[in-house]
Every structure is written in C-alpha cells, then in structure tokens.
Homo-oligomer: A and B are copies of this chain.
Amino acid sequence: MKKLLIASTSTVHGKGYLEYILPELSKFFKGIHEILFIPYARPGGLSHNDYTAKVQEAFEKINIKVKGIHEFNNPIDAVNNAKGIFTGGGNTFLLVFELYDHKLMSTIKNVVENGTPYFGTSAGSNVAGLTMQNTNDMPIIYPKSFITFGFVKFNINPHYLDPDLNSTHMGETRETRINEYHTINDTPVLGLREGSWLEVNGSKVVLKGKLYARLFQPKKQAVELPPNTDLSFLM
C-alpha cells in the first residue's frame, strides 16, 4: 500500500533542517535503517555530496542512514532496492529534468505505488502531484515534460504564501498565479503552508501540522481546510 509524507518545507523558521518533522519521520520510517536520498533539486546549487551530507546529519538523530542516489552506479537498481526514499527540495525544474534524464520517473512511481515509503519536502513534494505546474521555482532548465509522479490526484503548491496586504509590488500573488493556472487547467491545487504536510496511506490523504491549507479548484472559491482534514475526496 502506498505510504507517503508530503511536506511543504524541510525547514520552518527558527529551527534546524528537518527538525520540526523528525518525530514524524521516526514513526514513518519505523523499522527502516537506511533510506535512499534524491539530491537532484540542488537547493542553491549545493552539490549532490554536500546535500546528502546535510540530510545524513539530520537523519542520524533518528538512527537512519542515508545514501545519495548519485553514489550508485545503477540508479534504477538503487530505487528498486531502497527501503525508503526521500526527495529533497531545491529547484523543481532541475529535479524533474534529472528524474527524466536518469529514467527514474516511472521507476520511483512504480516502487512507491507498491509500498516503498516516500518522503518529500518542497520540490520533492511538488513532484508527488500530477504535474509540477504549481511549483514556485524558476525554469532554470527545460525538462522533458511537466508530468510528475501523481501519487496524489491533485497538484501541490509548497511554501504556500498568503498575499502581503501591505505590499506595493505589482507582481502576481501566489493566489493569482494559481487562479491563472485554473483558467486553462482543471487539476485541483493544494496550497500547503510551511509546517504542514500530507499523510498518505493508500488512497487516504490527511492534512497534518498545525496550519490550515488552502484548496483551489477551477470555477470555485478557494477554501481553507483545517488540520486533520481528510482529503481523500480529491483522490
């Protein structure tokens, strides 16, 4: 059965990397001693090695070893043999480019649909949706397609940000951008605020954390959903 944690962010303000979600991760990866890390999104251009070292440091606190996929000669075998997978944040265009380039989009999709636990943050969560089309990132590279894993049957906008009512900047708000998406697409979009995550078990999806999430659907007013909302109706 499919099992995922899809988090808006790796880091909440004032805490260390993954710190806020470590207790959850400890339960989520219970009984697993090593996970496979996908560093392809390279936040700030961080190297695969440095990014993996940072993730190792966080997971050591819950006694889980981390191996970066770039350390394997055959990344497809690495995915097929993994006991758990974590895809970190960074640039979604780069992540999706690399996933297609290494022919991993279908491989990861397959193992996760068959029960390998998957944890994602930010870009790694965005790709859990049907497409990457609600990313906030800059298109620094041209990926083969915008279609992503589709572990949930909607799209995810990580780091969801409410409009700043005092701003004099004329660029679009996050809500305006998502509404523009819905003028030509029908897929529902969930705006996940930093500190929120989705718990997925099979086709059951529940909103976790202390914050509300904002659900956008075409031709409907956006709605605020409280923590523990069952989102399975979107599956």
Contacts and interface: CB of A to CB of B under 8 A. Distances in A.
Interface of A: 9-14, 42-45, 90-91, 93-94, 132-142, 145-146, 159, 161, 168-172, 176-185, 194
Nearest to A97: B184
A180 B138 contact: yes
Contact of A184 (B94, B133, B136, B137): B94
Given A9-B170, A161-B169, A176-B44, A146 B138 contact: no
25 contacts: A12-B170, A13-B168, A14-B168, A42-B180, A43-B172, A43-B180, A44-B179, A44-B183, A45-B179, A45-B180, A90-B180, A93-B139, A94-B184, A132-B139, A134-B138, A135-B138, A135-B139, A136-B171, A137-B177, A138-B178, A140-B185, A141-B185, A161-B169, A161-B171, A169-B194
A106 to B, nearest CB: 18
A42 B183 contact: yes
Contact of A141 (B135, B159, B170, B184): B184
Given A132-B139, A133-B139, 19 more contacts: A10-B170, A11-B170, A13-B168, A13-B170, A42-B180, A42-B183, A43-B172, A44-B176, A45-B183, A133-B138, A136-B138, A137-B177, A138-B181, A140-B177, A140-B180, A140-B183, A140-B185, A142-B145, A161-B169
